[in-house]
Structure 1
């Protein structure tokens, strides 16, 4: 199973649409692209294996494996990227601004239901992160 996160980059944050089999599951918010700097940048585009994870803080969520130069990149609930994320991805039901959204817990529940079902059938689940733009400027924050 491969989820696809199509990103659009802005200086203030990164917006995304998360799809499975060509259908929108939810939207996503992230930090802006700042050359993969820890705690202040979204992660590089690429394909990552997802694993189910539990923590007291985020409860059940998802963990991206083998992110270059980064550890513990998660998909967890958050409604404001700059205030609540340290490089992770937050699913949201509605995007309310650049790097902002609402009803993140509902979006995470919808996403994890799909992913956990596949994992329960011993299926490998990946997320493919890519840009909506095709120019080399896509990761500079220039539209």
Structure 2
């Protein structure tokens, strides 16, 4: 499975559209681009793989692997990038401003279900991030 994240950059946040085979999955919000600085920047554009991950805080979620000079880059619910993200990607149902979205949990559940199904079928899940 290949997921494509197409971004638009703003000073206060990054908005994206996540698609698979040309079909829209959800929108995304991230921190603004700040030279890949830990906890304050979105991740660099490129190709990554995604795996399942569990934590007490987020329960079952998704981790983006092998991000240069970064670790624990996750897909998890959030509606305000500046207040709720430390470099992660939040799926949202609707964008409401730069780095802002609505109904993140709903979008996250849908994305997670789709990705987990592919992973359970022994498919690799690749994320391509571009602008």
Quote the residue 2:26 is aligned against.
26
Which ranges of structure 1 fall in alignment gaps of 5 or more residues? 132-143
Separation in 1, partners of 2:129, 2:60 = 22
Give the TM-score normalised by the residue count of structure 1. Answer: 0.90
Quote the residue 1:2 is aligned against.
2
Tell me how many residue pairs correspond in the alignment.
131
Bigger CA radius of gyration: 1
Quote the residue 1:123 is aligned against.
123
Pairwise CA distance, 1:114: 0.8
Quote the residue 1:47 is aligned against.
47
Which ranges of structure 2 fall in alignment gaps of 5 or more residues? none
Deviation string, structure 1 residues 22-56 (Cα, Å, up to 9, x no partner): 01100000000000000000000001100011111
Quote the residue 2:96 is aligned against.
96
Separation in 1, partners of 2:126, 2:55 = 21
Quote the residue 1:61 is aligned against.
61
Pairwise CA distance, 1:60: 1.3
Give the TM-score normalised by the residue count of structure 2. Answer: 0.99
Deviation string, structure 1 residues 108-133 (Cα, Å, up to 9, x no partner): 011011100100110000110000xx
The runs of at least 4 consecutive aligned structure 1 residues that moved more than 6 Å come to: none
Deviation string, structure 1 residues 52-78 (Cα, Å, up to 9, x no partner): 111111111100110001010000000
| SS of residue in 1 equivalent to 2:51 | strand
